[in-house]
Amino acid sequence: MTPRSAPDRLLAVLAAFDHGHPALSLTDISRRAGLTLTTAHRLVGALTDWGALERDEDGVYHVGLRLWELAALAPRALALRQIALPYLEDLYEATHENVQLAVRDGCEVVYIEWISGRSAVGVHIRVGARWPLHATGVGLALLAHGEPALQDAYCERPLASFTPHTITDPARLRRVLAEVRRTGVAVSTRQITDDALSVAAPVHGPGGAVPAAVSVVVPERDAQVPALIPAVRLAARGISRALGWQPAREA
Amino acid sequence: MTPRSAPDRLLAVLAAFDHGHPALSLTDISRRAGLTLTTAHRLVGALTDWGALERDEDGVYHVGLRLWELAALAPRALALRQIALPYLEDLYEATHENVQLAVRDGCEVVYIEWISGRSAVGVHIRVGARWPLHATGVGLALLAHGEPALQDAYCERPLASFTPHTITDPARLRRVLAEVRRTGVAVSTRQITDDALSVAAPVHGPGGAVPAAVSVVVPERDAQVPALIPAVRLAARGISRALGWQPAREA
């Protein structure tokens, strides 16, 4: 699977880095990118000169500050996050639990913000992390408000399982999605880990789109779901309004 | 200034995007990158397929979600920010003012976190933004704790001026840096805009390094600097301890 074109080879060097591999030697990079050591050396040099990669004193490469600056321009990540952050902070102040903002990319959610108190439950979620839509509160909120074609296609895929509680039955997933649309909130219970629960609500943009979802993740055993729902919904509505959404009519 | 090598051409396409130009047409990109339209089209296509760029319904290109995910791996940005965020939130809760975390890149600071209340003073600082070291509180804190060679080289450069209050005299800058080292805090008054003031403190890493600085930016006219100093210093020390720093001895 040697990448052929020059752009593909350079992007393969960047793609060698992921959450499991945030620090790589030149040899690691050449192997993971499927490039000769000579080619990898040349491309890594160009990326390091530019600032996309940084080399530490041990000769190990990391993602560089310049990519962070560039990523700060992504409208679906930092720009959205910048608008949302005050509301996420309010939600954090109100609950003192883990607070997340996520967007959909294909069949997965990507967490673009994650506020965690030092005392909040440890969860296996990080900024930049991905999970399948059906297994998380934010994913259910985004899928429930996605195009019908997306929902159909998603329900035909195998549904990955992480705990005995993960939704793996397409018919059950469809019922859950209908419930999310009806109530305006998604509750995902023990789907990713056996001890956590998330409450999520969709963020509406102008013109009916749902560009993001907000959630709170709490320990399942003492979760006060009814108390969390209004806080999460309020935060989501605050962000929606800041994005230019106007509610059609209130019940 | 046509970039020659294949990697340089691809990176020139990415470099066409900056804070002043977060959304570009293909024509804009080709002009800003110094590439023919044909070459730009090919490279933009490769970057879009990979997810580094995204094309909206108007045919305009933006930085894509995939770069955000990659940037989340940068140890000097998101990884540091993840450790620092609880302390920055505490500082925000304590002051309800703009809170920043910044690192040094060459002769500039880069803001890697920025928490801003909806009611806090509007400042011209964004995540990913850069300013010269001498003109900001965080920059003074980082420069004061940098290598002597860096300080010497910096003081020999022309010092850019943004307001009549910006430090432009190298001798004055040296006095300010000595004061920052003595007091452990940097106060930058009306240096970037005429109406704002920042109070900053260095973040210490293990082994004597100062990898970052924390600051609060407030309106200059009613700034309570003596009240802000302990809060900023405490936040910086909290982050320093979380990074593994241990104070040598207390006075």
Instruction: List the single residue in A with minimal CA-CA distance to B97.
Output: A86
pLDDT in tens, chain B (251 residues): 555 788 899 999 999 998 889 899 999 999 999 999 999 999 999 999 999 999 988 999 999 988 888 888 888 777 788 788 888 888 988 888 889 999 998 899 988 888 775 544 444 456 667 889 999 999 999 999 999 999 999 988 899 999 999 999 999 999 999 999 999 999 999 998 888 899 999 999 887 789 999 999 988 888 889 989 999 999 999 999 988 888 775 44
Give every CB contact of residue A185 below 8 A, 6+ residues apart in sequence: A141, A199, A200, A201, A229, A232, A233
Confidence class of residue A2 from pLDDT cuts 50, 70 and 90? Answer: low
Provide φ and ψ at A24, rounded to 5°. Answer: -135, 145
Which pLDDT score is estimated for A72?
Answer: 81
Query: Which of B200, B213, B247, B199 lies closest to B80, judged by CA?
Result: B213
Contact B163, B192 (CB under 8 A): yes
Contact A71 B10 (CB under 8 A): no
Give the bridge partners for A213, in sequence order. A102, A202
Sign of CA dihedral A140, A142, A148, A151: negative
Secondary structure class of B57 (helix, strand, coil): coil
Report the amino acid identity of residue B132.
Answer: P
CB atoms within 10 A of CB A159: 18
Lookup: tokens for B107:
């002769």
Which pLDDT score is estimated for A3?
Answer: 54
Query: Which of A206, A226, A209 lies closest to A218, judged by CA?
Result: A226
CB atoms within 10 A of CB B88: 21
Contact B70 A47 (CB under 8 A): no
**CB-defined contacts A:B, below 8 A:** 162
- Summarised one tens digit per residue, pLDDT across range B184-198 is 999 999 998 888 899
Given a cut of 50, whether residue A73 has pLDDT beyond it is yes
pTM to 2 decimal places: 0.74
CB atoms within 10 A of CB A217: 29
Contact A110 B86 (CB under 8 A): no
Given a cut of 50, whether residue A119 has pLDDT beyond it is no
Instruction: List the single residue in B with minimal CA-CA distance to A8.
Output: B46
Which pLDDT score is estimated for B221?
Answer: 86
Give every CB contact of residue A26 below 8 A, 6+ residues apart in sequence: A37, A40, A41, A44, A59, A61
Query: Which of B155, B225, B230 lies closest to B189, judged by CA?
Result: B225
- Rounded to a whole number, what is the distance in Å from the CA of B189 to chain A's nearest CA? 26
Could you give the C-alpha distances from B168 to A75, B174, B190, in angstroms and in order?
36, 11, 13
Given a cut of 70, whether residue A204 has pLDDT beyond it is yes
With b for 16 or more beta-carbon neighbours within 10 A and e for fewer, the B4-25 pattern comes to: eebbbbbbbbbbbbeeeebebe
ipTM of the complex: 0.74
What is the C-alpha to C-alpha distance for residues B71 and A78, in angstroms, rounded to an integer?
11
Averaged confidence pLDDT in chain A: 88
Give every CB contact of residue B172 below 8 A, 6+ residues apart in sequence: none
- Summarised one tens digit per residue, pLDDT across range A10-38 is 999 999 998 889 899 999 999 999 999 99
- Summarised one tens digit per residue, pLDDT across range B133-181 is 999 999 999 999 999 999 999 988 899 999 999 999 999 999 999 999 9
What mean pLDDT is predicted for residues A77-101? Answer: 84
If one compares A250 and A47, the residue with the highest pLDDT of the two is A47
Contact B110 A69 (CB under 8 A): yes
Which pLDDT score is estimated for A120?
Answer: 45
Domains in chain A with CATH codes: 6-70 (1.10.10.10), 75-242 (3.30.450.40)
Q: B205 to chain A: which residues are within 8 Å by CB?
A: none
Lookup: tokens for B67:
């770069």
What is the C-alpha to C-alpha distance for residues A109 and A49, in angstroms, rounded to an integer?
33
Which pLDDT score is estimated for B117?
Answer: 59
